[in-house]
Amino acid sequence: MTIYFNLIQPAAGFERDAARERAVGPYEDHQWLWRFFPAPVGTRRDFLYRRLNVEAAPRFYCLSKRVPEDLSRVWRIETREYNPKLRTGDRLRFDLRANPVITQGGEGKKRRHDVVMQAKRKLLGQRGLVKWEQWVDGDKPTQYELIRTSCVPWLITRARQLGFSVIEDDLAIDAYSQHRGKHERIRFSTVDFSGVLTVTEPRAFVENALFTGVGHAKAFGCGLLLVRRVE
């Protein structure tokens, strides 16, 4: 199976047009990217993506099973085959936008819970509180502390399952966000991880982490592991 790594970015001279066209959110990005991968109705999504804004213009990194089609003069597409050759012990710098959740419940009633909100609920329950604002004493963790202590273990666990390892002290965490859908209901959350990983099982890492992605909400720009070798 051939996998392609694609960069979709504004064409020279069309940066403003591209910025206006994509000044939206993850739900719209997902639908919009299908234009580059046309397929019959009902076709399952066969690409991962990550959106980054560079100088106010959107840039999309995509991993796909098909070569994207160039359908607009506003966007420029660069495509290459993606066939990483890795060995046990290789170290890579990585960047990941993920949807850290845990799944709870019995058969047929499983639900996904944001790990940060779940940690909040647990701490509140231990103190007999209902709302975060009710916690006023000095041992209340900061938002960053809460995010780090809940999200880092989530990534370490997933890494072990996907053929790589990360060192907790070297992980950077940023941009925790809650994304809302209709009626302002929170639909999913994201957090950005970066740091250095070590490949522990090359085949599992390539097939299950790089090619398949990490975690859930992949349709909304999560899960794509961007890597480069440590120099």
Residue boundaries of the structural domains of the chain: 4-81, 91-229
Nearest CA to 64 among 51, 77, 45, 78? Answer: 45
The CATH fold assigned to 91-229 is: Alpha-Beta Plaits (3.30.70)
Equal fold, 4-81 vs 91-229: yes
Query: Dihedrals φ, ψ of 130, to 5°?
Result: -110, -40
Check whether domain 4-81 has CATH 3.50.50.60, yes or no: no
Contact between residue 189 and residue 176 where contact means Cβ atoms under 8 Å apart: yes
- Give the confidence band of 186 by pLDDT, cuts at 50, 70, 90: low
Residue 157 buriedness (CB in 10 A; 0-12 / 13-18 / 19+): exposed
Distances (CA, A) of 202 to 87, 146, 193, 207: 6, 32, 21, 9
Q: Give yes or no for residue 182 having a pLDDT over 80.
A: no
Instruction: Name the percent of the chain lying above pLDDT 70.
Output: 95
- What was the pLDDT predicted at 14? 86
Task: Please report where in the chains the tokens 């809302």 appear, as a residue.
Answer: 180
- What was the pLDDT predicted at 184? 59
- Give the confidence band of 151 by pLDDT, cuts at 50, 70, 90: very high
User: For the chain, how many residues are written?
Assistant: 231
Instruction: Name the percent of the chain lying above pLDDT 90.
Output: 66
Query: What tokens appear for 231 in the block?
Result: 């120099």
Mean pLDDT of the chain: 90
